[in-house]
Chains A and B, each alone.
Chain A
Amino acid sequence: MTLHLSPYDRSLLAGEYGAGAKMAMSVVVRMAEFHGAERLLDIEQAHIDSSIYMGEAGLEFAERLAGLGAKVAVPATLNVSAVDEHHWQEWAVPPDWAANARRQMAAYVQMGCRPTWTCAPYQVDLIPKFGQQIAWGESNAIVFANSVIGARTERYPDLLDICAAITGRVPAVGLHLTENRAGQLLLELSDIPLALQQDDSFYPVLGHLLGKVARERIPVVTGLQVRPTEDQFKALGAASASSGAVALFHLVGHTPEAPTLEAAFQGRQPEESHTITLDSLRAARRELTTATGARLDLVVLGSPHFSLAEFKQLAPLLVGRRVHPEVKFLVTSSRAMTLLAQKAGYLAALEAFGGKVTVDTCILASPMLPPEIKRLMTNSAKYAYYAPGMLNTEITFGSLADCVQSAVEGRVVRDESLWK
């Protein structure tokens, strides 16, 4: 297969749109050749994960592109940064790290990206539409855009997302093409109590199991009797993109490309079938907890970033209560959602409770936690999956109500009634 480049593609590659666009196009074309693509296609927008400062090379890459005059050719949102731009001093972030992270933020803004600083852009700004071709980074955003919205993106890794945004062009491969969006394996929910299906904590656990079984393939789930909320979809997708590399799932009857089982598989046969029982979900839930005792230093919510609806759900649980003096309570969110929550009056309850909000970033992307914080609790499967290895901490997974109750009591407590 030979790659066919359009006149515009060739102009970009020849440097007619500047040296920055030339470098970006060189990366896009070399990746197209890697994939054996026949052509490139236009994207309508991008979400850039490369904005997270991790070290000198990523900063050098961003400043090289910006310095060469590169600008995004399509609207582009920015994923989290490595610092809360205006409040990093309240945490354990080293000043030289913060300075570099802020330089990296500036480079992406200079290239014309919108300073959204969130891993849940689909709840904030530039929300894509069904069938749109987009180039998104950030695994939880990718799986949400593909599965819940029906927009079309490959799993754009760091460094390629910005090159796609600068050129507006991507290799015509993978999930951009209809035929590659068919389900590959079938997972049937069997005898899962309705009360559990209606509970928020069901979705991250199901997602964790989905990722483990599906790995990088496209799972199709049947038997779900309730319509998940946007935040339940968010938790499901984020979990499946942490324990596995799921970029697209179909929930028959609930997601846009799966009105029926046949549509989800595009008329093909599943490669394999699995049954999901309450037992397998219990086992998946157990895997999300690494802590053994009841000791607790930090309750952390908001991976992916907390939404307005989640702030609304949290606020009444906190009224008239107070976090235990030896426990910290943290919500990670976007500036946009935090501002809306404040205007709606939901933040007052959190402040009175003794909780804090961090915006722009999260505990995985920013070296913000002081070393004495060793025992975490969360309702996020993504935090639960990554925190033990990345932060060298122990973690307990629980429901939102479990997290609040534990924060008040100063020790891990969980209501097991739905999981019995």
Chain B
Amino acid sequence: MELILRGRPVISGQASGVALVSTEPLSFWGGYDYQTGTIIDRRHALAGQCAAGRVLAVPFTRGSSTTTAVLLEAVKAGTAPAAIITTAPDSFFALASIVADEMYARPIPLVVLAEADFARLRTGQRVEVDEAGTVIVITL
């Protein structure tokens, strides 16, 4: 079974991976260990989970403006999420993706989904993101 969700591409790109989903916003500074891709914010529901190579779905970033730098480190270290899905355009994710493009020609695809569609995502689902912002969820 496939579920096709029409989103809006913020930074276009193709990616696929296993979904890691939370309805809680996330700060990468103090929240993401770029050396391993692990979420380390103890107050966050995804604490202890590894987001490297996965399709990370969080509503938006929270707190520190250092999130962008941590995400750029993760791109260079190969521990960034394969794509990020949010419920609204997030300027910190956008900036990190744009600079990753300028520096390494490796932008992180970013897609915005309507809240009702975002709510259908579940951790563990196989997810594909395409350049048009379509999110294909393999539900089995």
Contact = CB atoms under 8 A, between A and B. Distances in A.
A57 B63 contact: no
B41 A158 contact: no
Nearest to A36: B89
A245 B68 contact: no
Interface residues of B, number: 35
A389 B31 contact: yes
A244 B62 contact: yes
Interface string B99-114: 1001100000000000
Given A30-B98, A35-B91, A157-B92, A54 B42 contact: no
Contact of A158 (B25, B65, B103): B65
B73 A55 contact: yes
Interface in B50-89: 60-70, 72-73, 75-77, 89
B126 to A, nearest CB: 29
Given A30-B98, A241-B63, A389-B31, A159 B69 contact: yes
Given A31-B91, A157-B91, A158-B65, A26 B10 contact: no
A157 B40 contact: no
B65 A156 contact: yes
A276 interface: no
Given A58-B69, A61-B103, A157 B41 contact: no
Interface string A127-156: 000000000011100100000000000011
B68 A160 contact: yes
B88 to A, nearest CB: 10
Contacts of A54: 34, 66, 69-70, 73
B119 to A, nearest CB: 19
Contacts of B95: 27, 31, 157, 159-160
Contacts of B43: 389
A184 B76 CA distance: 39
B30 interface: yes
B94 interface: yes
Interface string A14-27: 00000000010011
Contacts of B63: 139, 241-245
A95 B91 CA distance: 35
Contact of A57 (B10, B62, B103): B103
Interface in A47-61: 49-50, 52, 54-58, 60-61
A228 interface: no
B96 interface: yes
B66 A61 contact: no
Contacts, number: 103
B73 A159 contact: no
A378 to B, nearest CB: 15
A64 interface: yes
Nearest to A387: B30
A389 B63 CA distance: 14
B65 A23 contact: no
A55 B30 contact: no
B102 A26 contact: yes
A187 B95 CA distance: 32
B65 A138 contact: yes
A390 interface: yes
B99 A56 contact: no
Contacts of A31: 91, 94-95, 98
Interface string A209-236: 0000001100000000000000000000
Contact of A27 (B25, B30, B98): B98
Contacts of A97: none
Nearest to A290: B42
A157 B102 contact: no
B61 to A, nearest CB: 8
Nearest to B110: A34
Given A55-B76, A57-B103, A389-B30, A49 B66 contact: yes
9 contacts: A31-B94, A34-B10, A35-B91, A57-B69, A61-B72, A61-B103, A139-B65, A157-B67, A158-B67
Given A34-B89, A157-B66, 9 more contacts: A23-B102, A34-B94, A54-B34, A54-B66, A56-B77, A157-B68, A159-B69, A389-B30, A390-B40
